[in-house]
Amino acid sequence: MNTMLRKSVLAIAGLTVAGGLAAGPLNHATADTTTTTGSLSAAVQADRPDTGKLIPHGVQGAQSRIDLNDEQTANTKAIIAATKKAGMDERAAVVAIATSLQESKLENLGHLGDRNDHDSQGLFQQRPSSGWGTVEQITDPEYSTLAFLKGLQQVDGWQDMPLTVAAQTVQVSAYPDHYAQWEQQAADLVAQHWNS
């Protein structure tokens, strides 16, 4: 069971979590936590998107992972909301979140001066000079996600491509294989937040 799911299930069951281990009940209620935990675990699992739908081709290569702060989590939720608004499925959200993890670590970046890659900005490092929109638009999480997803929809067969190929076809990055490393974390984030 993945760590986040385990912590969620343990928290619902009334157990505290310290360093990934159950430390004991939060209170001394007499409820049978064994049966409660089992049924809650099933409920939490049923509420999550199917892993086979999130990662239909399996992950490619070594995977990276970062801890997210409140801003990054809010941006994750904004990407998911925009994906739903676009009428696209969980897999599209995985591709978008993995792309944003690679491009900005899910941070809505403004112009970085000398450290900037041309005029790239926002969650997806989109460029006003390349027609992605104005600075105000591409630094709006909903707009930038919808722009990315519009590009993704124009890629014939993106659903059947490895994530890094689909992302690269939209982004045209100098580092086309780097998107693959974020697929597992992106899938975990979609599983965690799709129905929240």
Residue 22's pLDDT is: 37
Residue partners of 114: CB distance under 8 A and separation at least 6: none
How confident is the model over 22-38, as a mean pLDDT? 37
| Distance between CA atoms of residues 77 and 180, nearest Å | 21
Q: Has residue 31 got a pLDDT over 70?
A: no
**How far, in Å, CA of 171 to CA of 113, rounded?**
21
Residue with tokens 């045209």: 172
Domain range summary for the chain, segments of one domain joined by +: 3-47, 60-193
Q: What is the model's pLDDT at position 52? A: 78
**Residue 38: pLDDT above 90?**
no
- Nearest CA to 94 among 54, 135, 121? 54
Give the pLDDT mean for 108-131. Answer: 76
| Beta carbons of 109 and 102 less than 8 angstroms apart | no
CB atoms within 10 A of CB 49: 18
CA dihedral angle for residue 13, residue 94, residue 119, residue 156, rounded to 10 degrees: -170
Q: Is the pLDDT of residue 118 over 50?
A: yes
For the record, the structure tokens of 191 come out as 């599983």
* pLDDT (0 to 100) of residue 60: 86
Correct CATH for 60-193 of 1.20.1050, 3.40.30, 1.10.530, 1.10.3470: 1.10.530
157-172 tens-digit pLDDT: 999 999 999 999 999 8
Q: What is the pLDDT of residue 129?
A: 84
161 or 11, higher pLDDT:
161
